[in-house]
Amino acid sequence: MKVKVLHSSYVGRSNEQLGGPYQQSERHYVIGSELEVHAIVVFEGRILFCVFDKFEDFTWDYPWMFEVLDGAVPDDWIVNCFDGAVSMIVGPEFLAKNVEAYQEFVELVPEAVQRMRERWRTRCDQSRATP
């Protein structure tokens, strides 16, 4: 799934759009750049995309920050639904298999982050090799 960055800040967005007051309004994106979505989560009723920012750090952000260029999801993604704050995860099986796996990634457990970085590098290598 590919997106194009439309916004690099939350400036001008209401608390309703953001799901609460957020202090950090600037995001680390380059407007117009294309990013791969690495997972999608529904957290407290809000949809969030997992992408790499310009510093190559994972971040979760709102779909309105982006324009979807290619909505096709990777072959290794699964969908899982839960009862709780995290109600749905769409992404690689190692992330979406259960809420605990997602929490490990969000809480930056090194093994979970490394696994996603390895997947990201592999996908980057594959896209560079495709003519």
Rounded CA-CA distance 23/26 in Å is: 9
**Structure confidence by residue, pLDDT tens digits, 53-83:** 888 888 999 999 999 999 999 999 999 999 9
Domain boundaries, the chain: 2-129
Cα dihedral: 15, 96, 59, 53 (round 10): -140
Q: Bridge partners of 4?
A: 34, 67
Closest CA relative to residue 59, chosen from 113, 131, 4 = 113
- Give one DSSP letter per residue of 39-96, joined into a string: EEEEETTEEEEEEE-TTS-EEEE-GGGEEEEE-PPPTTEEEEE-SSSEEEEEEEHHHH
Q: What is the pTM of this model?
A: 0.86
pLDDT at 42: 96
**Structure confidence by residue, pLDDT tens digits, 106-129:** 999 999 999 999 988 887 766 666
| Per-residue pLDDT band at 13 (split at 50, 70, 90) | confident
Would residue 124 be called left, alpha or beta, if left means φ above 0 and alpha means ψ between -120 and 50 degrees?
Answer: alpha
Q: Are strands 2-5 and 34-36 parallel, antiparallel or unpaired?
A: antiparallel
pLDDT at 129: 63
pLDDT at 55: 87
Tokens representing 3 are: 């997106």
Share of the chain above pLDDT 90, in %: 62
pLDDT at 22: 59
pLDDT at 124: 73
Cβ atoms of 77 and 83 closer than 8 Å: no
pLDDT at 120: 82
pLDDT at 88: 97
